Amino acid sequence: MSASIGTDVARAVALLQGGSVVAIPTETVYGLAANAFDPEAVLHIFTTKQRPSFDPLIVHIGRPADVHAVVRELPPGAEELMRAFWPGPLTLVLPKRPEVPYIVTSGLDTVGVRMPAHPLALDLLQRLDFPLAAPSANPFGYVSPTTAQHVADQLGEAIPYILDGGACAVGVESTIIGWDGTCWVLYRPGGVPVEAIEAVIGRVDAAAKQVVPAAPGMLESHYAPRKPVHVGDVDGLLPLFADKRVGVIGFQRAFAVHRNEVLAPNGSIEDAARDLFAALRALDASDVDVILAERFPDEGLGRAINDRLRRAAAKR
């Protein structure tokens, strides 16, 4: 099998109705989607990605009201959050309905759900009478894809169709928060800044270190290129790699090294997030020996960027 790439939503509908997986665009990253109510279809996601079964999937819906098809009850603040951020890059972890199979949630009684802000994804979801379980469309542990070509490069032989929605506008995965019975807890920083969430519902706590499950976003090594990655003050790091071909991921400026990926000369943190994963892929595919990345200001989207860079740098 070799994937074709196109914009044929009807074809994606037919494949998904038939129990197949399809790669779909979202505003954050491309997802590898299947019928969330069909355990066999969902199993294809895990085998295609070589994803461990302990790692639960996010369920995508096409209308806010569809949340009731997957979620048993909405805790305090959930409706305010949905109104403020859906469609958009915010995943809510909520008590699941029995119709959601345990393969989706890795045995948990909660389910992560979000409504993506991408016109093709919403068109697709609104034509289906089931929601879509979809993790990022990359082999487990690697950098997430932000173009259809990224998906084709790695999973093209294993999937029938890639719905091409162009380059992802946000570029980092959704922010994930969950209700722990008394308060909202941050599981993964992402496309919606925590500050914006707190402006709607008040304080969001940091997740306890030993959260079960180990969300892939929480595994220390994740989002990782094959080349070694080091994050920090690049001027300070450079002397340590004087005998190496160095590639730098810089925020606003270039460095005197073999290759530079300057994410946002204009200083826009949104632009930096959008282009981060493509830059990691480009340097990973280049002739550099090592990738150095600047640390970003630890606020707003900078928190998500720093989180992904730190995990990309973690030792496997």
Q: Which helix (H) or strand (E) holds 275?
A: helix 269-285
Burial class (CB in 10 A: 0-12, 13-18, 19+), 127: middle
Binding status of residue 105 toward ligand TXA by CB under 6 A: yes
Q: Using the rule CB under 6 A, which residue among 3, 71, 93, 276 binds ligand TXA?
A: 93
Residue 27, CB half-sphere, CA atoms under 13 Å: how many? 22
HEC per residue, 71-140: ECCCCCCHHHHHHHHCCCCEEEEEEECCCCCHHHHCCCCEEEEECCCCHHHHHHHHHCCCCEECCECCCC
Binding status of residue 237 toward ligand TXA by CB under 6 A: no
Q: How far is the CB of 24 from ligand TXA (least distance, A)?
A: 8
Task: Give the footprint of ligand TXA on residues 245-284 (CB under 6 A).
Answer: none
Binding status of residue 28 toward ligand TXA by CB under 6 A: yes
How far apart, in whole angstroms, are the C-alpha atoms of residue 312 and residue 290? Answer: 12
Residue 93, CB half-sphere, CA atoms under 13 Å: how many? 26
Q: Which is nearer to Mg ion, 225 or 250 (CB)?
A: 225
Burial class (CB in 10 A: 0-12, 13-18, 19+), 230: middle
- Considering only CA atoms, which of 138, 162, 284, 145 is closest in space to residue 216? 138
Stretch that binds ligand TXA, among 25-33, 158-166, 233-241, 274-282 (CB under 6 A): 25-33
Binding status of residue 176 toward ligand TXA by CB under 6 A: yes
DSSP annotation of 178 reads E
Q: How far is the CB of 313 from Mg ion (least distance, A)?
A: 17
Copy the structure tokens of residue 148: 């259809």
Stretch that binds Mg ion, among 129-137, 150-158, 207-215, 308-316 (CB under 5 A): 129-137
Binding status of residue 31 toward ligand TXA by CB under 6 A: yes
Task: Give the footprint of ligand TXA on residues 180-219 (CB under 6 A).
Answer: 187-188, 213, 215-217
Please provide the distance, in angstroms rounded to a whole number, between the alpha carbons at the two ends of the chain.
Answer: 31
- Considering only CA atoms, which of 88, 125, 114, 116 is closest in space to residue 12? 125
CB atoms within 10 A of CB 51: 19
Q: Using the rule CB under 6 A, which residue among 16, 21, 41, 58 binds ligand TXA?
A: 58
Binding mask 114-153 for ligand TXA (x = CB under 6 A): --x-----------------xxx-----------------
Q: Which is nearer to ligand TXA, 32 or 237 (CB)?
A: 32
Q: How far is the CB of 237 from Mg ion (least distance, A)?
A: 27
Binding status of residue 48 toward Mg ion by CB under 5 A: no
Q: Using the rule CB under 5 A, which residue among 35, 105, 136, 306 binds Mg ion?
A: 136
Stretch that binds Mg ion, among 135-143, 239-247, 249-257, 268-276 (CB under 5 A): 135-143
Stretch that binds ligand TXA, among 170-178, 240-248, 273-281, 305-313 (CB under 6 A): 170-178
Binding status of residue 29 toward ligand TXA by CB under 6 A: yes
* Close Cβ partners of 29 (under 8 Å, ≥ 6 residues apart): 136, 137, 144, 145, 146, 168, 171, 172, 173, 277
Which residues in this chain contact ligand TXA in the complex, by CB under 6 A? 26, 28-29, 31, 55-58, 89, 91, 93, 105, 108, 110-112, 116, 134-136, 173-174, 176, 178, 187-188, 213, 215-217
Give the footprint of Mg ion on this chain (CB under 5 A): 136
